[in-house]
């Protein structure tokens, strides 16, 4: 018996950091949007153990894989010794700030819950998701949501409408740990207006949202190729051009498909991975 699904990537339309929490981690304040770049996850019951296979040889397939961790937490929680095999067709670039690993973990949790007859409530799944990683609770539902604290405090909002998104990943990836270290060592930090962004997000005012896209990490992380990618996006009149997460992927948002495709075609000369996609109202889509 198996379940297959698509696990969508995300972009951060707004990303800010707060102070250090009692657990030693920084609080986050971010608005994320699911986009149509997806890994295909197939979860199949097996005789024993947990195994993971992946089409990207750079992704670990043992206990360090976040989907493996999600499966282990789920099986422990329901008290099952059932074996599970997870197959990941990797399409979301890694070390890109697009939440690929988080999407895989969320997809694994939902697939297992379906395979076992829905033993866990949404709230229980969210708790397990939070133990996997900060972006995993968002990926369970996806769409557009405000995520705070460690990512587990979530408020849904209307998804972006009538836009087309170009995502370009430079050759270099970015370590999340190094990104936070750079933030911690900064002497001065520029902030953006959260309240204005939240107001326009909650009311679904797409033009005003796009005018205010912001990523605090762009002040501290030097990604080779980022400036050139943004320059091309602006040449094609992108309404927003911003880095996602801790990088290194850059997204540009356009009002029509043809312009987005023309921009993507030019970006292929300077970025190894370029995608044209649209906003999605779900993080996980069962096939």
The single-letter DSSP state of residue 279 is B
112, 44 in Cβ contact below 8 A? no
What is the total residue count of the chain?
287
d(CA 201, CA 194): 10
Can you tell me the distance from the alpha carbon of 117 to that of 105, in angstroms, rounded to the nearest whole number? 19
Phi, psi of 82 (to 5 degrees): -60, 140
Catalytic pick from 135, 141, 169, 230? 135
For 179, half-sphere exposure in the C-beta direction (CA atoms, 13 angstrom radius) is 25
**The token pair that represents 65 in the structure block:** 């894989």
DSSP for 217-238, written as a single string? GGGT---TTHHHHHHHHHHTT-
CB atoms within 10 A of CB 270: 15
Q: Tokens representing 146?
A: 């405000």
Alpha helices in the chain (DSSP H): 66-78, 100-115, 122-132, 136-141, 176-184, 194-202, 206-211, 226-235, 257-267
Hey, how many other C-beta atoms are within 10 angstroms of the C-beta on 250? 31
Reading the block at residue 78, the tokens are 């329901």
- Any catalytic annotation for residue 135? yes
* Ramachandran angles phi, psi of 190, nearest 5°: -85, 130
Report yes or no: 41 and 87 within 8 Å, Cβ to Cβ.
yes
Q: Which residues are catalytic?
A: 10, 135
């Amino acid at each position: 018996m198996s379940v297959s699904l698509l696990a969508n990537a995300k972009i951060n339309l707004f990303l800010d950091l707060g102070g250090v929490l009692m657990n030693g981690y920084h609080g986050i304040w971010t608005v994320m949007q699911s986009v149509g770049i997806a890994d295909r996850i197939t979860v199949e019951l097996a005789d024993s153990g947990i195994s993971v296979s992946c089409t990207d040889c750079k992704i670990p397939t043992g206990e360090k894989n976040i989907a493996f961790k999600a499966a282990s937490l789920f099986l422990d929680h329901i008290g099952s010794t059932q074996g599970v095999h997870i197959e990941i067709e990797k399409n979301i670039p890694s070390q890109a700030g697009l939440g690929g690993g988080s999407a895989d973990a969320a997809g694994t949790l939902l697939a297992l819950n379906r395979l076992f007859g829905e033993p866990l409530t949404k709230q229980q799944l969210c708790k397990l998701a939070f133990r996997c990683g900060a972006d995993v609770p968002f990926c369970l539902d996806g769409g557009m949501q405000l995520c705070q604290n460690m990512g587990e405090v979530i408020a849904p909002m209307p998804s972006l409408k009538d836009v087309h998104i170009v995502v370009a990943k430079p050759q270099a990836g970015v370590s999340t740990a190094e990104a936070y270290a750079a933030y911690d060592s900064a002497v001065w930090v520029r902030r953006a207006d959260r309240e204005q962004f939240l107001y326009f997000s909650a009311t679904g005012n797409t033009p005003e949202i796009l005018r205010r896209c912001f990523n605090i990490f762009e002040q501290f992380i030097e990604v080779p190729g980022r400036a050139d990618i943004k320059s091309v996006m602006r040449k094609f009149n992108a309404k927003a051009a911003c880095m996602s997460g801790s990088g290194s992927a850059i997204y540009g948002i356009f009002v029509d498909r043809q312009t987005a495709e023309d921009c993507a075609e030019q970006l292929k000369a300077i970025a190894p991975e370029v995608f044209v996609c649209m906003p999605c109202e779900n993080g996980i889509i069962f096939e």
